[in-house]
Structure formats: C-alpha cells, structure tokens
Structure 1
C-alpha cells in the first residue's frame, strides 16, 4: 500500500513547538455528551417475561455515547477529553477510575452532588446478537454553555457532540465559531472541526437543524429509521441533499456497512466486516464514530503539516526553494490554489476528499466489526496493532 497510508497509521504526528512552527501540537479530540454506568448481562437467549434465567457473563462498564467514543479513541492512541456531567454519588470512584484507566481527560467535567449516576441495564442475547437496554436517569443535569466556557479551545483540534440538549449545544457551537473566527487565518493555530451525532430519536427532526452548524454529521441507523428512512442510501440521497448541509454526512447501517458524502457531493461506500460470531453489539455505533474521528483528525493534522511545510518553503529564500520554484510568488500562488488556504478558516473540511473519506469509513467498519466479535472494548488496541502489521490491504 502507499506511503500515505503509512503516514496516517505508522507515524505519530509530532509538530515542533517553537517559534518557526506554523501549527502547534494540538491534536486532541473533545467529546461532549453523556456518561452513564452500564450493567451488562450476557445471556444465551433473551429471557421470557416473569422468568428466572442464569446469565453467561456479567460486568459493569462506563457507558454513554460520548464516553464510549472517548474509550475507543484512547485505545486507538488518540488524545481525547470527555465533557459530561458526572455524578458524585456512590459510583463516582468506579467512573473516575475507569476514565483514568483509559487515559481519558475529564478535568472539566462538572461533578453533581445529590443525584445518582444514570444507569443502563443491558441484556445481550448470543442467539440473536441483540442488545436490549433499560435506562434510568434521576434527572442528572445536562451540560450548559457555562460548563463549556471553562474550556481553553486552543487545546483542541476537533470537538464532537452528541446531538442532545440542542439549545445549549448550539450556544457551544457558536463559541467554537467565534474562536475560529478570532484566528483570522492565523498560521499559528488550527481551526477546530465540529462534528455531531444524530442519534437520539427523542430529539426528533429538530436534530436536522444542526446540519448547517457542523462540518461532519453522523446519522445513526436508529435515528434514520425513526425519520422514515429504510436504508443508508436513502439517508445519503435525502439528507445529503438538504440545503442546510454544509459539510460531510456519514451513515453506518450495521451489517450493510457504511456510506458517506463529501462536501463536494461525491458518495463513497464501504462493506461491513462482520466477525465469525457476534458476541457484543453494545457500543458498535460509538466504535464506528470514534474510528472515523481518529482517521479524519489524523488526516487533518497531516493536511495542516503540508500547509506548514509549503508555506515555510514559500517564505524561504534559500537556494533549495530557488532551485525548486521560479519564485516565492509562484509558490504562494500555487499553495493558495491547491489548498485554498485563504478560505481555510471558513472551510474546515477541505482536507476530506473522496479518498480520505472512503478510507475513513472502511477503517471504521473494520474496527466496528472487530468490536462486535469481542467482549467490550479492550480488544481494540490489539486489533489496531494487528492492522499496522498488515499490508494495509483492508484500506
């Protein structure tokens, strides 16, 4: 496979932090949403009503979409942070110790006293591969823009939102927009890319209003079905044509794989990579999303490095540049034409072309398929290492 893939997966991106750097070492992904405690029972078959049945396996694990996404990102080697309200009740130690175990920054999470942690009781059926969830929440507060204002946005390359508490989320997005505008095309800072997951059916069609505010939109299968869509192609050809859509749209559809549309309207697809045996489908969607975020964020950093290197060359009057180009004026003109740098602060999806997007969703389908064939998430770092040892034919 090509050396560009090795750049994405073998080389750890390191950007020197000195006076000559045009892009700081900022690659962290922030995930904003919900964390809860999952109590998982694995059964051979789903129990009948009013019956007693032994489970095959039992575990506690930290759950919630944003929380799960951080877990997978961390296992893939991506620096990440969770922003979610955490309960300071009897489960606080378990939740915080687990976040530390996976090296997830939670330093800005508000700690809420007097309200229990949300609990999800989950039954996994080995016979059918289903996961049935009973959710309980004693009204743990949602995040507010005041919580978000505690963040130093210069620390992040990417902010990913669960689509929930929409009014407050829009205020958070506006703060990111204001920050990006304040950069004013600065070479010394990387504009933040914004993504959102449309998953919560209770939020209804209003989630679609977010299309005009985000750079990358994930449309979950459950949400799409609640909106009347029958398959992922229908999603991409309908929502993908929505006039409010300003960036990339991605839709995964379990065993059918995934489909996506670039900002220029090119549609790409990937098959699913199912395991020999379905063991644990819990969090498969979060795993897919995290793998896409990982790949795209690495691609973004590589794009910015290319901009940095070419811009440095354009401003360098040494013999090497003189031998390579006619003049620095020509170089600057070519850089702007090729990378559209003058509009970079407005177009944060410039780095996502057809090839990058297709590779991202294919990589994510592979990682999600491997997760479904394993218990929990702890296998993913080993699976990722295995990918690095292959010839990259999967991509």
Structure 2
C-alpha cells in the first residue's frame, strides 16, 4: 500500500470497521477546563525583537485545552460537552456561535460578568514549526464543585479534566466516584446507565507535585511532554517506566512526545508504543496535543461502550441461562476472568494492549495530519479517509 502525501496514512488502511462515525451515538464525553480566545499569527519566521513583520495568515479561534479537545471529538463524530467558565464580555457571542458550529454542548457553562475573556496571542513560525504563546487572563474564576453538581452524570460515559484548580477538581472526582458506586447492583440491561471513566491531562509544571498525587483517583492519565521534561525526564520511555510505578496509578498512562510518537502502559502494566506520522510539511502545531488526547479519548470511549454493552448482554444471558445466544459465551467469560456481578461497572477492564495500542496509533496519525493543516477543520475528512 502507498502513503497519501496529504495525510501520511497508507491508502485503504482501516483502523476498525466498528468505529465508523456514522454508527449510533454513544454516551457523551465531558471535558472540564478552560476556554479562551486565540489570536493566531502565522509568520515565515519568528520576528526579531523590536521589529515589524508581516504575517502570512491571521485568524481568531476558540482555544483552551478542554475547548480544543471538544472540537476534535466533535469532528470525529463523538457527542461531547464542554464545562468551562465563559466570560460575558464582547467575545461571548463569538465563543457561543463557534461552540454551536461544532455541535458542542455548552449548556452548563457558567457565564461570568464583569471579567474579560482569557486571551492567547500565538505566533506560528513556518521556518521552525514552533508556536509561541503569550497568555493573558484577567482572573476569570475557575469552575467549582457547585457548577459540577448541576450536571446529570447519567448522560456521560467519560469525564476528562484539564489538570487545573486541583482542590475543586478532586471534589468533582469524588462526586463521580459516588455516582459510580451508586450503580453497583444495577443489572437492568434496558437502562442506559454507565460507569464514568475519569481521565486527566498533566500539563502545568507549576502544579506538578499536586497533580501527581491525583494518580490514585484517575483511570487514564495523559502526561504532556513539557510536564515530563519539567520533572526531569528526557524521553517518553523514562516517563512510562517511572510515573505511576509506585502503585499510585490504578489505570492507564499515556505520553506523547511530538515527532517521536507516543507510548502507553495498560492498567496491567503492558507497554505499547506508536511511531509518529509527520506530515509532508509542518503548517500549524497549535493544538496538536489536544488533538492527540481527543483521538485517544474517542477510541477508548467507543471501545468501552462496546465492551460494556457486550458485558451487559452476558449478564442478562447468564441470569436467564441463555448463554448459547449471548454475544459473549460462558467460555469467553471464564477465559477473561469476568466478575459478572460487577463487570459492567468497571471503567478500565476494556483497556488491554490491543485497544491501547490502536488508540495511540490512531491519535498519532490524526495529530500528525493536524500539524500539516491549518486549524482543525480538515480532521473529519481525514478521519473518514482512514476508516
């Protein structure tokens, strides 16, 4: 098979037939964090200090890690919701219109009056492929547990957090834990309740120690390259062999390392890796990490929903002695060491070597394609191309 120079993907290569975005929708992914306004200037080269230079492209776009992650999830066909504080300043209509354009639910976002929207000014250098970010925040409040408690958790199968506002985030995580515990003993397959898997992105070096203390509460952890380097790690293999190995981490750990690809460890300790898929030409690296995270979340969430539905069928069949017609046979159940009473409420049993390796490989491909394109709007077409 030959490679497509536009996407870096091999022609006619299929990731998984069951993962078509045209299939029936699954429970939503909720992304909790920050939204801001990005003012992006693309230059041939980074400007010298105290100079004047023309840019070759300029755009405004909605930014922020959680916000960007939602954009990519929606383009991949995944129902999602953003929970972030929105400023009621002159930019609010632009933000809301853009969220609506990308079919991102923002109905629970608190609207804050009297404080301006956070703004990022970004300079993209075509010469080096770098992106330089100057961030300004006028102290827009962070989300609180009261904001989170307004949600109906039954709507979500996954909640993804930016690693920020740690005290309130921990309260939100405990709120999810209480919800998951309330599902124990509920075996009615007609109900659409689903345990919520929790993931978090560790990116902010300033809160590194406190973020690492969250590992025992998290199902899937994304370690950003900048965060890892601040911790003294020189490459992604050092990260995967060190962080969480002291039994603090109960789930999976994932680390992307730009042009070196990504590496991940399953809850059982198996390590998988994917090479990078660089584009023919680097155009726009802004949001590449958010794109990678979103693609992983997309694949893992779809895998989880598929897994749990099969398990519910097995529970129903076992209770009614109809295993001969079940999607999962008694032999399958025995081989996988399933706990019938509690399986449908496990949030991480579906993350095996095959699922995790496919997830990071897909994510590396989509992130590579994003780097070779302006913004995000190409990603849905690229994703459909590789299915």
User: Shared fold (TM-score greater than 0.5)?
Assistant: yes
Equivalent-residue separation in structure 1 for 2:312 and 2:156 (angstroms): 18
The aligned counterpart of 2:23 is 12
Quote the offset at 1:93 in angstroms: 0.4
Q: Distance in 1 between matches of 2:371 and 2:15?
A: 29
Which residue number corresponds to residue 104 of structure 1? 104
**Partners of 1:93 and 1:292 in 2: CA distance:** 30
CA contact (8 A) 1:311 1:332 kept: no
Question: Deviation string for 1:193-233 (max 9, x for gaps)?
Answer: 00000001121221101100110000000100111111000
3-state SS, counterpart of residue 239 of structure 1: coil
Give the Cα–Cα distance (whole angstroms) in 2 for the partners of residues 352 and 8 of structure 1: 16
1:366 corresponding residue in structure 2: 365
Partner of residue 314, structure 1: 318
Deviation at residue 164 of structure 1 after TM alignment: 0.2
The separation in 1 between residues aligned to 2:302 and 2:240, in whole angstroms, is: 25
Give the 3 Å change call, closer, same or farther, for CA 47–4 of structure 1 in structure 2.
closer
Matches of 2:126 and 2:183 in 1, distance apart? 51
Whether the aligned pair in 2 keeps the contact of 1:240 and 1:261 (CA below 8 Å) is no
Cα RMSD after superposing both structures = 2.3
Other-structure match for 1:124:
124
1:363–1:2 CA distance, 2 compared to 1 (3 A): closer
Question: What does residue 198 of structure 1 align with?
Answer: 202
Instruction: Find the residue that maps to 2:241 and give its secondary structure.
Output: helix
Mapped contact 1:185–1:344 kept (Cα < 8 A): no
Cα shift readout 1:84-123 (whole Å, capped 9, x = no counterpart)? 0000000000000000000000000000000000000000
Q: How does 1:337-352 map to 2 (within 5 A)?
A: 338-344=337-343, 347-352=346-351
Counterpart of 1:301 in structure 2 is 305
Alpha-carbon spacing, 1:105–1:324, altered in 2? closer, same or farther (3 Å): closer
How many pairs are equivalent? 372
**Distance in 2 of aligned mates of 1:195 and 1:102:** 23
| Partners of 1:205 and 1:227 within 8 A in 2 | no
In 2: Cα distance, 1:260 partner to 1:27 partner:
25
Change beyond 3 A, Cα 1:322–1:230: closer
Aligned positions of 1:215-226 closer than 5 A: 215-226=219-230
Contact 1:32 1:82 survives alignment (8 Å): yes
Mapped partners of 2:381, 2:341: distance in 1: 41
Report if aligned partners of 1:180, 1:345 keep a CA contact under 8 Å in 2: no
- Unpaired segments ≥5 residues, structure 1: 15-25, 389-395
Q: Would you tell me which structure has more helix in proportion to its own residues?
A: 1
The 8 Å contact of residues 14 and 386 in structure 2, kept in 1 or not, is answered as: no
Give the corresponding residue for 1:238: 242
Distance 1:323 1:39, change over 3 A: closer
Task: Give the Cα–Cα distance (whole angstroms) in 2 for the partners of residues 158 and 225 of structure 1.
Answer: 28
Q: Deviation at 1:155?
A: 0.4
Aligned counterparts of 2:13 and 2:89: Cα–Cα separation in 1:
51
State the Cα deviation string for residues 352-377 of structure 1 (Å, max 9, x = none). 00000000000000000000000000
Instruction: Write the distance in 2 (CA, Å) between the matches of 1:307 and 1:229.
Output: 39
Residues 2 and 324 of structure 1, relative CA distance in 2, 3 Å threshold: farther
Residue 385 of structure 1 corresponds to which residue in structure 2?
384
Query: Structure 2, unaligned stretches of length 5 or more?
Result: 1-11
TM-score by length of 1: 0.89
**Counterpart in 1 of 2:4?**
none
Q: 1:264 aligns with which of 262, 268, 272?
A: 268
Q: Is the 8 A contact 2:317 2:326 kept in 1?
A: no
Q: Give the Å deviation of 1:312.
A: 3.0
- Residues 378, 41 of structure 1: alpha-carbon distance in 2 compared, 3 angstrom cutoff: same
Q: 1:212 to 1:264 in 2, by over 3 A?
A: same
Residue 344 of structure 1: how far off its partner (Å): 3.3
Equivalent residue of 1:203, what SS? helix
Q: 1:81 to 1:46 in 2, by over 3 A?
A: same
Kindly indicate whether the alpha-carbon contact (under 8 Å) linking 2:313 and 2:326 is maintained by their aligned counterparts in 1: no
The SS at the match of 2:73 is helix
**Residue 145 of structure 1 pairs with residue 149 of structure 2:** no
